[in-house]
Copies of this chain bind each other. A is one copy, B any other.
Amino acid sequence: MKKCDPGNVLQRSKIRKTRQRIELLSKMIHEVSFSAKQLQKEMADIDLATIYRFIHLLLEKGIVREIAFLDGHQFYEYVCEHHPPHGHFYCEHCERLFCLAPLDFDQSSVLIRNAEMHRIDQISLVMKGVCKQCAKQS
């Protein structure tokens, strides 16, 4: 059974299958990252409210995670075992979001030393700048 098949993913999490959800989730699975607006641009027949409601449902179930808030939009990515948490790099010129390599345990541990922390639920590392391709062009 394909683990990342939209139908299976929904079934496993006991989320009712609808045309809209299947379409949205397959898109999410195949994109490096997505925002509500991007999804709607490519699936104009699905209401924005439906998209936002579905994203929130997937967040609760841990099927997607928030990765960054950029240019007034929240970006998300699909969670799977081949895609452990990692940082992102946003090119301000072409507006693309790149994934950074995941940090290993030792690397991560240098980040999380702080006397005030009890539990960490989410780590977000985002860099902004200009990518090589854009640098060449200008």
Contacts and interface: CB of A to CB of B under 8 A. Distances in A.
Copy tally for this chain in the complex stands at 2
Contact of A128 (B116, B120, B134, B135): B120
Given A69-B69, A119-B135, A121-B92, A114 B128 contact: no
Interface string A114-131: 111111111111111111
A87 interface: yes
A1 interface: no
Contact of A118 (B107, B112, B123, B132): B132
Interface of chain A, helix or strand or loop or mixed?
A: strand
29 contacts: A68-B124, A87-B111, A89-B116, A89-B117, A98-B114, A98-B116, A100-B113, A101-B113, A101-B114, A111-B125, A111-B127, A115-B132, A116-B131, A117-B127, A117-B129, A117-B131, A117-B132, A118-B131, A118-B134, A119-B129, A120-B127, A120-B128, A121-B128, A121-B130, A122-B127, A123-B125, A124-B124, A125-B125, A125-B126
